[in-house]
Amino acid sequence: MSASSPTASSPTSSSPTSSTPTLPASVPASGRQVRLAAHPAGLPTPEDFRVELAAVPAARPGQVVVRTRLFALDAAARLFLGGVGLPLPRLALGDVVPGAALGEVVASTDPGFAVGDEVCHQLGWREFAVADAAALRRVDTTVLPSPTAYLAPLLTAWAGLVAVAELRPGDTVFVSGAAGAVGGLAGQIARLRGAGRVIGSAGSPAKVAHLTGTLGFDAAFDYRDGPVLERLRALAPDGIDVYFDTTGGAQLAAAVRLLRPHGRAVLCGLLDRQNGPRRAHASGEETTPDLGYAVTNRLTLRGLRTADFADRRAEAEQEIGRWLAAGRLRLDETVVAGIENAPRAFVDLLRGEFTGRVLVRVDGQPDHKTGLAPLDE
Ligand SMILES: NC(=O)c1ccc[n+]([C@@H]2O[C@H](COP(=O)([O-])OP(=O)(O)OC[C@H]3O[C@@H](n4cnc5c(N)ncnc54)[C@H](OP(=O)(O)O)[C@@H]3O)[C@@H](O)[C@H]2O)c1
């Protein structure tokens, strides 16, 4: 990716000299990567990506070679493919799609990492990543008991509720995109942090049942089934205190009308805009919030960028780690087998085919469609 993405060494980034480092025999000469083949207009297609073999560059001093086992598909990646009309860096054609990944060190020139260490990185959809040691995080299961927690958007959900919305005990909280990776965590964290009532929305009856039956939401509705304002008002007749917004559009417009005086909205995501609407809007339904309500009710509508809260990551992970260890918070995960299936799975993710975090298991082991993904079969 351009400007703000983490940098990976490319096969052409170092000129061969007599001191060019070589790879240990245990590391293959090449590995598969998923690169952007075309900038999509609207919903991407699998043909917008290309899976190809690329040489694994040797690690220069201070670098580490990682064999990726799992990487996360992230709806936010759509924002960097272009065509969303926002001031964001755009992935260049041929770039590897970035994102969180988990793997094992297979070669290291840095004293801080040894072969066999389990680490996570942000170098995305590739079988082998060569990273500066500073760009790696060591997986520490004494903090986060499941390694796949390192691939979950923990800080986004936690910071949105705790730091941005300043959630208070007893608050009524509404979360859109609640069956997604961020929303599912936000709803659970709201409950664990003392919310009085947690309401979620998602795009199918099965997902609605999952929210109330598995993730512990008090109530949920299908945002594709009738006007959102009516559905939300029926579940929150006295209004809401906090809205965790992953969608914008009609759900944000409805929430702004129903936020009580001094209510807070966390503007986290743009699913309705980045993917195009997944529903026909009911006649007369608002899709732009009426900010007159923000004035009258002294509302706070605040945008979230996770990176702004990096200094609170340790605090978030300590708290979430305790909940995970106690079995009080669930990592909602779907695992897809095989790096070659990542493009199709990404499109399916954006189309609403999955729940929770979607992880790609690079080596193509069988899918685990529900529950925690076993890493050590
Ligand atoms: N601000 C930040 O720093 C930050 C950080 C991370 C993520 N985000 C954003 O947070 C949002 C959620 O991320 P995520 O990883 O949890 O994604 P996600 O929910 O896993 O995204 C996929 C889901 O989005 C829903 N969806 C797709 N199109 C939609 C539409 N038009 N309207 C409503 N829902 C739609 C679908 O579920 P349904 O079946 O329910 O429709 C789909 O399963 C994304 O917009 C992402 O960019 C922001």
Residue 17: how many other CB atoms lie within 10 Å: 6
Residue 342 has phi, psi (to 5 degrees) of -60, -45
Which homologous superfamily does the CATH classification assign to the domain defined by 30-152+332-361? Medium-chain alcohol dehydrogenases, catalytic domain (3.90.180.10)
Question: In angstroms, how far is CA 80 from the centroid of its own chain?
Answer: 14
pLDDT at 344: 97
One DSSP character per residue, 351-375 reads: TT---BEEEEETT-PPPB-SSSPPS
Determine contact, residues 212/247, Cβ cutoff 8 Å.
no
Determine contact, residues 109/61, Cβ cutoff 8 Å.
yes
Under DSSP, is residue 124 helix (H, G, I), strand (E, B) or coil?
A: coil
Considering the chain, tell me which residue range(s) the CATH 3.90.180.10 domain(s) occupy.
30-152+332-361
pLDDT at 352: 95
* Mutation to probe ligand 1, out of 86, 122, 224, 246 (largest number of atoms < 8 A from CB): 246
* Mutation to probe ligand 1, out of 74, 84, 182 (largest number of atoms < 8 A from CB): 182
Q: Which of 218, 288, 225 is nearest to 251 (CA)?
A: 288
- Distance, CA of 214 to CA of 333 (rounded, Å): 13
Considering the chain, tell me which residue range(s) the CATH 3.40.50.720 domain(s) occupy.
154-307
- Distance, CA of 293 to CA of 314 (rounded, Å): 36
- Nearest atom (ligand 1) to Cα of 277: 31
Determine contact, residues 137/157, Cβ cutoff 8 Å.
no
The residue written with tokens 């079969």 in the block is 377
Provide residues with CB under 6 Å of ligand 1.
74-76, 79, 153, 156, 177, 179-183, 202-204, 207, 246-247, 268-272, 275, 277-278, 304-306, 349-350, 352, 354
Per-residue model confidence as pLDDT tens for the chain (377 residues): 333 333 333 333 333 344 556 667 678 889 999 999 999 988 999 999 999 999 998 899 999 999 999 999 999 999 999 888 888 999 999 999 999 999 999 999 999 999 999 999 999 999 999 999 999 999 999 999 999 999 999 999 999 999 999 999 999 999 999 999 999 999 999 999 999 999 999 999 999 999 999 999 999 999 999 999 999 999 999 999 999 999 999 999 999 999 999 999 999 999 998 877 777 877 789 999 999 999 999 999 999 999 999 999 999 999 999 999 999 999 999 999 999 999 999 999 999 999 999 999 998 754 343 333 433 43
- Residue 42 tokens read as 């609207």
H/E stretch holding 67: strand 63-73
Query: What dotted CATH number matches 154-307?
Result: 3.40.50.720
- Distance, CA of 32 to CA of 353 (rounded, Å): 25
Q: Residue 45: which residues within 8 A CB-CB, separation 6 or more?
A: 347
Under DSSP, is residue 74 helix (H, G, I), strand (E, B) or coil?
A: coil
pLDDT at 21: 62
Q: Which of 106, 30, 26, 109 is nearest to 68 (CA)?
A: 106
Q: Residue 376: which residues within 8 A CB-CB, separation 6 or more?
A: none
One DSSP character per residue, 229-290 reads: HHHHHHH-TT-EEEEEESS-HHHHHHHHHHEEEEEEEEE---HHHHS--SSPPPTT---S--
Q: Which of 94, 163, 96, 151 is nearest to 119 (CA)?
A: 151
Going by CA atoms, what residue is nearest to atom 45 of ligand 1?
269
